Chain A
Amino acid sequence: MTPPISRRQALVLLAGGAAVAGGGLAAITLVGDESADAPVSAAQTPPVPTGEVAVIGERYLVQFPDESSVAVLSQLVDLPRPGAPGAFAAARDRLREELARGEVVSVDGWVLARTEARLCALVALGQ
């Protein structure tokens, strides 16, 4: 069974692209114990409003109610957890590849990578 992805892990994975790309804050802070149950410090969750991200997730789940559980979403996302080798690169590459291949969803018109929307849904479910 796929371990569940926590809200904070979902947020961290969403920031994976920026971390790999050298985004200063994320690159510095996204280290250490990032298991599902470990507390994530304020620094590890960059000061970006998360309520808005959760809104995206909520709207995604309205479209795809069958995915309205952490277990289902965690399985569908199936990314290495933060802290695992290559986790951020994998998250970044997944989003980029999905966008390139057209594996996207439209959430109120916003064209998002499928995994990106699912990570937002995990944030919503974790609130």
Chain B
Amino acid sequence: MLVDARDLADGADLATDVCVVGGGAAGITLARALRGSGLDVVLLESGGFELDPATQALAEGAMPDGRFVNGFDHEQVIPLDAVRLRQLGGTTNHWAGYCRTLRPIDFERRGHLARSGWPFGSETLDPWYEQAHEVVRIGPYEYDWRWWRDVHGFPAPLLDDEVVEAALYQSKYPFAFGEAYRDELEAATDVRVLLWANAVDLRLASGGQAVERVEVAVLDGPRFGVRPRAVVLAMGGIENPRLLLAANQDRPAGLGNEYNLVGRYFADHLVVPAGFGVLAARLPELEGYGGIRYERDASGDPHGVRSILLLSDDAVRSGALQGLELQLMASRLGDGVPRQDEGVTVPDAAALVERVERGPQTLAYFQAQTEPVLDAENRVVLSTSATDALGMPVVEVRWRPQTADHDSIEAGLALVAQRLGHAGVGRVQLVPGGIQYDPDRAGATAADRFQVHLDRDTRTLSPDSAVGFHHMASTRMAASPREGVVDADLRVHSVANLFVAGSSSFATPGANTPTLTIVALALRLAAHLRDRVLA
């Protein structure tokens, strides 16, 4: 059922089996998965059905080091409260819907990548990924392009070899969890969704080994408590560590922070315009890279499938690289080319490609998304002076893009360029100084609005970067409490009944978008709570 927490009595005390804090992809998945289990669930959602400015302001915070910026215009800063959404469905209210599984290599400990590896292998998540497909309502659990080609006529990729692997994303857009599952949650008798309810503290039982009470506050409204048998934080990679750190009445450093790890290793994927290419390919051959829409079933429910280029596991290992994926967007060469003030331009390269490869030509734009290295100094901390309207310390996200991430993008794209050249597909330009996009340039085509910068200093010296807004690893999972905040079952090592869902608990982020893994982990956690913890 849906409950307006503004109508609750001040000082109320709600008992439940599981208190889920946060009504986004992880929280809603958990609540749904626990339906009918015999367990009672209270889900606390900070907002309502629509975005509310006063509630959204609770997500404000500072980024004193590097900032999140528009990839084409670093002057355009993206503030923290524009990134995360406090409304039912959370950030799925504005996500792009891209889904892909982490790869087996993402779960491995790699010698060249510090703090890589999960406490379990990819096979542990396989069954949950399959179920997650149903939750997100994408296509079958199948990521081999050959299957999609054979069954649906999906175009073959440009390249699929030992270095550059052809991979797929599945997508569902728009797909806001709150809207999709609102009716189901409203009808549920064993799930109470409390709207406008903000968790502001976690209090331990005497003895200090388990959470006894979740303190809840409503803006300009009542304050009350939830007494759960288990608590799951599902508020995202910034708010999860924020609440753990702010819950410092029973443990001065906050909960789960015995080794000063809560908030550390905060990571995001750099998502940057990386380069252009001139390809000896016809535009229809590249259709898969733009995405093709299919129907899930006879109801006509649509989803998408899109090709990407990916560094193979062997390339990552042998090159001591981070994972890298490239989206490719293509246009007709005659429909415009990026501007470049000096040097070898797209038309120059096109003349070469026409001579060497002698095929029809298209312009390709490459957008790179790289696996971030985990740096302990990239972290979420609490302001020592500022509080929000509920009295909670405001968050500071101390983050800088890692030089290693930029270097990995360049090295990876260079490899891709070589393989595309080797295969006779075309030639690729890495753009070390970045690419600007001027949407207001009069009379220009989309391609004409790009401006290439060759001076690498403009980007590599900047503390700012475009990212995927995939906040990860800030309560990372590890077998040992000395290396991570939660264990393999997502339980905070030092608190018996406190769990952390979502991408903040990723041990190693991988290169791909996180939501499908968030949902898979939430399904696994729900089963763990149902069958073992609270059975």
Contact = CB atoms under 8 A, between A and B. Distances in A.
Interface of A: 11, 14-15, 17-18, 21, 23, 25-26, 46, 48-53, 55-56, 59, 95-96, 99-100, 102, 104, 106-113, 116, 120
Interface of B: 275, 340, 342-345, 347-352, 354-358, 414, 417-419, 421-422, 424, 427-432, 452, 454
A99 B429 CA distance: 14
B424 A17 contact: yes
A52 B356 CA distance: 13
B424 A21 contact: yes
Contact of B356 (A50, A59, A104, A116): A116
B356 A110 contact: no
A120 B356 CA distance: 11
A99 B344 CA distance: 19
A100 B115 CA distance: 32
A18 B418 contact: no
A37 B387 CA distance: 81
A109 B358 contact: no
Q: 8 closest pairs, A vs B, by CB?
A: A18-B358, A108-B343, A52-B351, A111-B417, A23-B358, A99-B421, A52-B348, A99-B422
A35 B43 CA distance: 81
Contact of B414 (A26, A107, A111, A120): A111
16 contacts: A14-B356, A17-B356, A17-B424, A50-B351, A51-B351, A52-B351, A55-B344, A59-B344, A95-B356, A100-B422, A102-B418, A104-B417, A109-B454, A110-B429, A111-B417, A111-B418
Nearest to A25: B358
B432 A109 contact: yes
Nearest to A104: B418
A14 B355 contact: yes
Given A14-B356, A56-B348, 15 more contacts: A15-B355, A15-B356, A21-B424, A23-B358, A52-B347, A55-B345, A59-B344, A96-B422, A100-B419, A100-B422, A104-B421, A109-B275, A109-B431, A111-B430, A120-B352
Nearest to A111: B417
A14 B349 CA distance: 13
Contacts of A107: 343-344
Nearest to B418: A99
A1 B159 CA distance: 41
Contacts of A95: 356, 421
A49 B351 contact: yes
A51 B418 CA distance: 24
B355 A46 contact: yes
B428 A110 contact: yes
Contact of B349 (A21, A46, A104, A110): A110
A108 B349 CA distance: 11
Contacts of B432: 109
B344 A48 contact: no
Contacts of B428: 110-111
A11 B419 CA distance: 23
Given A56-B349, A106-B430, A18 B356 contact: yes
B291 to A, nearest CB: 26
A100 B357 CA distance: 16
B454 A11 contact: no
- With most chain B CB atoms within 10 A of its CB, the pick from A25, A26, A102, A108 is A108
B430 A14 contact: no
Contact of A48 (B340, B351, B418, B419): B351
Contact of B430 (A23, A50, A109): A109
A11 B355 contact: yes
A11 B351 CA distance: 11
A56 B352 contact: yes
Nearest to A110: B429
A63 to B, nearest CB: 11
A96 B414 contact: no
A17 B357 contact: yes
A34 to B, nearest CB: 16
B417 to A, nearest CB: 4
A65 B348 CA distance: 21
Contacts of A96: 421-422, 424
Given A49-B351, A96-B422, A96-B424, A108 B344 contact: yes
Among B352, B355, B417, B430, the one with the most A-chain Cβ atoms within 10 Å of its Cβ is B355
A14 B424 CA distance: 13
A17 B421 CA distance: 12
A102 B422 CA distance: 10
A112 B427 contact: yes
A21 to B, nearest CB: 7
Contacts of A116: 352, 356
A54 B516 CA distance: 49
Contacts of B414: 104, 106, 111
Interface centre among A15, A109, A111, A113 (most CB of B within 10 A): A109
Contacts of B452: 109
A52 B414 CA distance: 22
A52 B350 contact: yes
B358 A53 contact: no
Contacts of B342: 108
Contacts of A21: 358, 424
A51 to B, nearest CB: 8
Contacts of A52: 347-352
A68 B444 CA distance: 39
Contact of A111 (B345, B347, B427): B427
Nearest to B346: A110
A84 to B, nearest CB: 19
A114 to B, nearest CB: 12
Nearest to A46: B355
Given A53-B348, A56-B348, A100-B418, A110 B427 contact: yes
B272 to A, nearest CB: 14
A111 to B, nearest CB: 4
